[in-house]
Structure 1
């Protein structure tokens, strides 16, 4: 059920798990079906009001906020006239410039937690008053509005009187139609959003119902992104899988008024594994006993800190520079800036208006970066500026690592749902840090879609004419004796620039073999065992998951560690890292295991490729271990109706999968997953074992 009652004395309606927004991939949606709301910087909260006016405030993850924000309770009761209601919204604190300030909200929460058990727990926060900004109405009276379209819910929300707008108000909404009638564009709206200090916009489909707990394409968030140069002043040692390497950097910059070196926050995401190791080597030689700042940084931020001489300059992407604390928020690492001196680095000014330039919505703005080419970071450092609506065939020049590339036709849709070539390049650029290790040393076969999905597509093994001279390649003799005996010159995708180059050719799919080459270009024995689970008619990835569980156990009995990923289409693949001297051994072993499962459950599994044998069964394709075969690479896009991705998944996700949609991930989904969990296949080769 959507509403989940909580045990409490009041008669407030049950809690509704909040609907979530997906990232929009840098392309703000347009058209009469869309409405835009401010993306707020606060605590997501459900306000649940009983007929008698009793109010409960519940956080996104079910925490009771009622006591903490008691000033907000009871405000709407007079307007409801004895009706119950559930409102979805955000609790915010404003700074002196009239902007929502998450840092001040955090400060208020810290003060509340400090005093709540003391005699001063009811002390009002007059200097940090809170406001509830409602953006959705989920229940009014006895009527649930969850299935009503956004426009209907919003109309009823707007119709509620606001007895005290200083404490409870409705977030302003801008429909595309209203903007267009005023001769304004979404770019104009973004400029207004940036100037008013908001985090960005959320685009919502006006016809969509409210789907509790779901993150769907009908709510799309468009954050405004800023970059800053920073001085590395220390680091926290990594823990768990990062033990022995830097876990996160502690950052500084010079106060623009006094020139003092001040602490401005930290960064713990956006690093490749190789970059962490390189940074650790640099940091080891720069250690010092004391922090280098003019003022002692907060103790909570510096637990386990190790300090270094402040001589290295880097760059981060961030969403906000908090005015009160002077901290960068929502940071991600972009890379070292060897071309900058520490004396050049100043903190962002704590001005009263957020003058950050809005990120243009058009897909023609492609994230690129400068710096060491082998860092492989997908975070943008510089963006080539184009008009808001560039000509479809316009070309731009970008810097990707140490390479300069020319990109074209960025607004061209490559997917039926409108996902453009620029968005494809954006995805591959940002996913490069986790993609590149899975392509390293493996000849790549492309499936190119020059006219987009639905148009002509073709496999391409040989490096195409016009490829850049710097592209790494390898010549490998053809398998078999049919046709040409001329060796194939494969591309090796071993740096960010190569990823961007391939994406610019509309090489949506990247396929690789289960073996690598050595430095001399000689093929090594297979280092991976793969099982490709292909659902036949009347089956789905759910059935593949049940077969995958059986394979996992059988492989574990043979001493092999198995990791899983979706195919990005209908099925999934299982990988084991192996050692063997016999190129034919993986296929033989995989075939034997597949045939065993088919014998045990012939109504569920087949090991035969013939389509007539697949109806109602999962085909275990063992043949992809043949040295001549390739498999879709982890994190590769697929040429489908939507930009789905071959996505690493956990065994918990495999075991709990009951619907195909649970294991279908688009480019935006995967970027979020990697940001939250890192590369789920990163440890594949640490569990290498001899092939039985």
Structure 2
């Protein structure tokens, strides 16, 4: 076999691999982009000499050649040298790349290597999936564009597809021809249970060892509650800090505490210090698991009593060894006890789980039946379970803004790419304990009928709504009294909607001018993003006239429109909104509703209507500065609390 007797002298030099940056939840779109499936194996360069000698080198420069001998000599390039970039993978019986099997194979390889055996592991064959060509013959291709490198790569003969093949690349134009968007492709990837997508700019060169905006990865993740069972000190001069945590959970079938792996990322320095201080007093000499974890996995671990519960984000649960993979720390869950933490169940590798999954849970003192928790509601793979988890965590700051306000849902039962509908009346099958209020229809087309609105004022009600795929929660600017009657407005709102040619950056400029006018009138304005394209300004008010807030808001909107007609319009006519920000004062009409602070939005990504500081408004220089997804919002709440608490405390008479 070529490469069996190695002469490295003529093998092309190793190229440090180019790396992908996270796309921060926003898959890039446009004709300059191509999309590849994200692979979960071992990144490796295949370096081939003119005589066929082959060396496999890991992304860290480690020689993989002896570990994967079946990949040597798979290409006959007619005497040309080459350097390829790709991923070494193992497939499971369902035809999916399975990192758990790769880990199993590596564990066996290490044991056999120690024993001096040279098995080829025929039961776990590997395959090299190539996605880039860095050298062919004497020509280095790094400065060529992605498209140019792909064109040469796809011309190479692949005589044994069981051992080597080229990763498919789908361009934006090819997607468009199939009437698909990148987000719909991502949704398909999530449904297939794949790792995610990598978007690559078609004109970009290959930049060794660097992460640039030319390669952007969108990984599909999950969250899991875990029990902290130990910790590991940091290394390389950070011995006095917490380096990582050892994780556990209770096996759902045996009830045993089992080892789930570790987590070493996602911590702030403050969290590392605080966790270490909490863990040191509860240290123990031995591990707490029913079965001893692999020794190589728990080197330097310091064990603790399994008392603390946390949450991690992860990309995969490997069935073979029962490990959470690609973990990132999200924080402690003080509201959970260790006996509530159930380890993920190791299901069959072949069939997909049934879509009509139903579970019964207890939320507070109420029992709820939840369904389709694995169903993706966003193209990124953000599932109904993620939606419920977000609303559960954000409930302490969200519920005060929903309290005693009739809530209108926008539901997305088939996800944000499917049909959506408004729902005011309480859905059929609502639990008997759900608080409701019956009010006459007050819409512009109202017929005088009575609407039975839900009142979402506790966690069980919020979880019930999330289970209906009620992603968006909209409320009016008034509350209902104890007798169920409609009260006077207690909030003033301005909805700043950027027209074509403008963005939230322009909304921020308008918001600052409105801020000064409101302060001059004795009000205390607070700002929030809409979670979509624009933003809202609120102020707490006292008034007994239901029509007064809209009249006052209209006056200010028209004033700004007169002063800066090139930037602001106060008219609803869509033709007048181009290159302008529309100040929608009509949201103060008692019949209108506005997205609630901390509500999700039914957009391409799980973005949130997020309260922001006035410093953030002033510093806004790009739309992404004021775009927040769920994880960022929860992090902000942990650091800043509820920036909208002043809305009630600062109520003042409406001018």
TM-score by length of 2: 0.56
1:422-441 to 2 correspondences below 5 Å: none
TM-aligned CA deviation for residue 168 of structure 1: 0.8
TM-aligned CA deviation for residue 164 of structure 1: 1.1
For the residues of structure 2 that align with 1:326 and 1:28, how far apart are their CA atoms? 30
Q: Does the 8 Å contact 1:337/1:371 carry over to 2?
A: no
> Aligned in 2, Cα 1:247/1:181: closer, same or farther, shift over 3 Å?
same
Q: Does the 8 Å contact 2:508/2:617 carry over to 1?
A: no
2:416 is the counterpart of 1:388: yes
TM-aligned CA deviation for residue 292 of structure 1: 2.6
> Aligned in 2, Cα 1:464/1:24: closer, same or farther, shift over 3 Å?
farther
Q: Indicate which of 64, 67, 92 corresponds to 1:95.
A: 92
TM-aligned CA deviation for residue 286 of structure 1: 4.2
2:212 is the counterpart of 1:216: yes
> Aligned in 2, Cα 1:40/1:295: closer, same or farther, shift over 3 Å?
same
Q: Indicate which of 203, 206, 213 corresponds to 1:207.
A: 203
2:639 is the counterpart of 1:639: no
Q: Does the 8 Å contact 2:306/2:338 carry over to 1?
A: yes
> Aligned in 2, Cα 1:127/1:240: closer, same or farther, shift over 3 Å?
same
2:24 is the counterpart of 1:25: yes
Q: Does the 8 Å contact 2:220/2:380 carry over to 1?
A: no
1:120-519 to 2 correspondences below 5 Å: 120=117, 122-237=118-233, 246-280=242-276, 282-284=278-280, 286-351=282-347, 352=349, 360=378, 388=416, 449-451=505-507, 465-466=525-526, 504-505=611-612, 509=616
SS of the equivalent of 1:127 reads coil
Q: Does the 8 Å contact 2:220/2:381 carry over to 1?
A: no
For the residues of structure 1 that align with 2:198 and 2:411, how far apart are their CA atoms? 23
> Aligned in 2, Cα 1:258/1:508: closer, same or farther, shift over 3 Å?
same
Query: Deviations for 1:502-545, whole angstroms, at most 9, x for unmatched residues?
Result: 9755857599xxxxxxxxxxxxxxxxxxxxxxxxxxxxxxxxxx
Q: List gaps (5 residues or longer) in structure 1.
A: 1-6, 376-383, 422-448, 472-495, 512-636, 646-666, 672-692
Q: Does the 8 Å contact 1:194/1:357 carry over to 2?
A: no
TM-aligned CA deviation for residue 40 of structure 1: 1.0
> Aligned in 2, Cα 1:191/1:143: closer, same or farther, shift over 3 Å?
same
For the residues of structure 2 that align with 1:385 and 1:35, how far apart are their CA atoms? 32
TM-score by length of 1: 0.54
Question: Match for residue 659 of structure 1?
Answer: none
Q: List gaps (5 residues or longer) in structure 2.
A: 1-5, 354-373, 398-409, 423-455, 463-471, 475-492, 529-537, 540-596, 599-606, 633-655
TM-aligned CA deviation for residue 266 of structure 1: 1.6
> Aligned in 2, Cα 1:228/1:148: closer, same or farther, shift over 3 Å?
same
For the residues of structure 1 that align with 2:45 and 2:608, how far apart are their CA atoms? 46
For the residues of structure 2 that align with 1:231 and 1:28, how far apart are their CA atoms? 33
> Aligned in 2, Cα 1:9/1:253: closer, same or farther, shift over 3 Å?
closer
Q: Does the 8 Å contact 2:288/2:305 carry over to 1?
A: yes
For the residues of structure 2 that align with 1:143 and 1:243, how far apart are their CA atoms? 46
Question: Match for residue 587 of structure 1?
Answer: none
> Aligned in 2, Cα 1:269/1:211: closer, same or farther, shift over 3 Å?
closer
Q: Does the 8 Å contact 2:187/2:380 carry over to 1?
A: no
Q: Does the 8 Å contact 1:450/1:505 carry over to 2?
A: no
Question: Match for residue 533 of structure 1?
Answer: none
For the residues of structure 2 that align with 1:369 and 1:70, how far apart are their CA atoms? 50
> Aligned in 2, Cα 1:263/1:81: closer, same or farther, shift over 3 Å?
same
Greater shift in the superposed pair: 209-218 or 68-77: 209-218
TM-aligned CA deviation for residue 293 of structure 1: 1.8
> Aligned in 2, Cα 1:289/1:9: closer, same or farther, shift over 3 Å?
closer
